[in-house]
Structure 1
Amino acid sequence: MRLDERTGVSYPDGQQNADGVIHIIYDYNRTKDRHILFASFREEDAAKGKPITEAVKLRQMVSDASNE
């Protein structure tokens, strides 16, 4: 399962909570769009290569610094 299919995605970092949900934060177009995004999913989603649980949230905007 791809967290974000666009090119320009970099610097992922993540952790897995005790409830099994994996949380990833990453940036998109670090020097141009300057977006920080968040994704969450379970191991089952990653294993199937597609969203199958309610935990899946992809491309959630955390910060948009493009206008600064």
Structure 2
Amino acid sequence: MSLGDKISNKAEDLGGKAKEATGKVTGDEKLQAEGKSDQAKAGLKDAIEDVKDAVGDAVDKVKDVLKKK
């Protein structure tokens, strides 16, 4: 995962936490739900990037094995 992706996902997560907290304080259930949704999206994006990284690493290992043959 690139550093830019990590920063973007973290910013989305923190923004979601802020929305959720603001929603709790103000009693705005919609804002609170939006905050939770933003946090979930950020977590999903992180998971997808982790899978991409793992697949890329696996492909690199296969290439290395094939080069040795």
Query: TM-score if structure 2 supplies the norm length?
Result: 0.28
Structure ranking higher in helix proportion: 2
**Superposition TM-score, scaled by structure 1 size:** 0.28
Compare CA radii of gyration and give the structure with the larger one. 2
> Which of the pair is proportionally richer in strand?
1
